Structure 1
Amino acid sequence: MTLLSTRGLSKSFSGLRAVHEVDFDLPEGEVRALIGPNGAGKTTFVGMLCGRIEPSAGSVSFDGHDVTALPAHRRIRAGMAYTFQITSIFGRLTCHENVALAVRRRNGPLSDVTHALDRVGLADRAEQLAGDLSYGHQRLLEIAMGLAQKPRLLILDEPTQGLSDTEIDAFCALIRELKAETTILLIEHNMAVVMQTADRITVLNFGEILAEGDPDQIRADRTVQAAYLGTEDA
């Protein structure tokens, strides 16, 4: 079953084409990675999926329903959760309180707070102020907030940025574990993470889909190598 799809999704800013007529399908239960060079349109595309950016043209469907006109909070209620490229936490609240807000949003039990923090390795920091965490731990806290919502679709934008090698290994293990529970869209520059965790990969370039396939297909694709994998600029 296709959980998320777009048709002809486009966005221009003052005449500058950021995303152009993207047709995209994400089946339920899949881990999909979205990659591409800087300026490829990834953040704009995800913003339209989440409802934070209004498309210039095209449509977004989620769970068989057209959600193109729905605001972000309505999409969250429908089962989407996402983390931002720049962390979005409440710095003056504890880690426990941050996750509790996400749990209360869906009227879930507070026991889910401890479970979510434990899954990302922050159970021992539950009473620490979120603003005092390292940047990497703030990223993990935001993932815990997303998990606490028990979403049908979890969108993670640059989740490993600021994480140590050990934390990245734990993150990859978590993604493999979560695959049985939720569909994941992963926007990630760390290609080792992408190749380890993704079932399929979509490559954006100049606002259009350049290629799609499994990790082996994308690794061997010469157009992708030329546009992205063969450069250091991610």
Structure 2
Amino acid sequence: MTLLATRGLSKQFAGLHAVEDVDFDLPKGQVRALIGPNGAGKTTFVGMLCGRIEPSAGTVRFDDHDISALPAHKRINLGMAYTFQITSVFANLTIAENVALAARRRLRGAEVESAVAEALAHVGLREPPDRAAGDLSYGHQRLLEIAMGLVQKPRLLILDEPTQGLADSEIEAFKALIRELSASATILLIEHNMAVVMETADRITVLNFGQVLAEGTPAEIRADRAVQAAYLGTG
């Protein structure tokens, strides 16, 4: 069953084709990686999926419903959660308060506190919960943001550069987390760390100049000469 699909999805900025005519299908339960060179259109594409960027043309469907005109907050209510390339935590709130804000989309009362603790433990963030989010390192702010996504129990979790700023040991823990989460959520992973991509993704979509260059299993993508020339640097 396809959970998320686009047809002819395009975005122009002042005549520049940032994303052009992208057809994309993400089956339920899959871990899909989206990769490509800087400027390939990945962030713009994800922005259109999330409802933060309005397409110039094309459609976005979620669970077989056309959501192309829905604002971002209504897409979240349908079961989409996402983290961004630039962290969007509330710096003046504590760690626990940040996650609690996200949890209250679906929970009330005492349920919130236990859900917050569970989400923080899940991502391996062991900082004191009453510490201000703005005092965290960049990498730990990324983990906090992932916890804010997880606590919503999303059907689709979109992660944009989640391992940026993480130590090697934290990246290993993140790969284990993705494997665990894939049992209950569909995951779209935008990531430059190719070890993470190759070890966690079921399939990979490669964007280049705003268009789909290739799609396949990690082994197929690694062997694709066009992808090697455009991105992997081995061609």
Q: Same fold (TM over 0.5)?
A: yes
Q: How does 1:56-135 map to 2 (within 5 A)?
A: 56-107=56-107, 109-110=111-112, 111-135=114-138
Residue 166 (structure 2) aligned to one of 150, 163, 166: 163
Q: How many residues align?
A: 231
Which residue in the other structure is 1:227 paired with?
A: 230
Q: Per-residue CA shift, 1:166-224, capped at 9, x if unaligned?
A: 00000000000000010000000000000010000000000000000000000000000
Query: How many angstroms does 1:123 deviate by?
Result: 4.0
Distance 1:173 1:27 in 2: 21
CA contact (8 A) 1:10 1:19 kept: yes
- Segments of 5+ residues of structure 2 without an aligned counterpart are none
SS of residue in 2 equivalent to 1:119: helix
Query: How many angstroms does 1:107 deviate by?
Result: 2.3
Distance 1:70 1:10 in 2: 17
CA contact (8 A) 1:99 1:148 kept: yes
2:210 aligned with 1:189: no
Distance 1:112 1:182 in 2: 17
SS of residue in 2 equivalent to 1:105: coil
CA contact (8 A) 1:95 1:141 kept: yes
Q: Which consecutive segments of 4 or more residues in structure 1 shift more than 3 A?
A: none
RMSD over aligned Cα atoms? 0.8
2:181 aligned with 1:178: yes
Amino acid at match of 2:215: E
- Report the identity percentage: 77
Q: Per-residue CA shift, 1:85-127, capped at 9, x if unaligned?
A: 0000011111111000000012252211000000111244211
SS of residue in 2 equivalent to 1:204: strand
Distance 1:76 1:20 in 2: 25
Which residue in the other structure is 1:203 paired with?
A: 206
Query: How many angstroms does 1:142 deviate by?
Result: 0.1
Distance 2:124 2:132 in 1: 16
CA contact (8 A) 1:114 1:123 kept: no
State the TM-score, normalized to the length of structure 2: 0.97
State the TM-score, normalized to the length of structure 1: 0.97
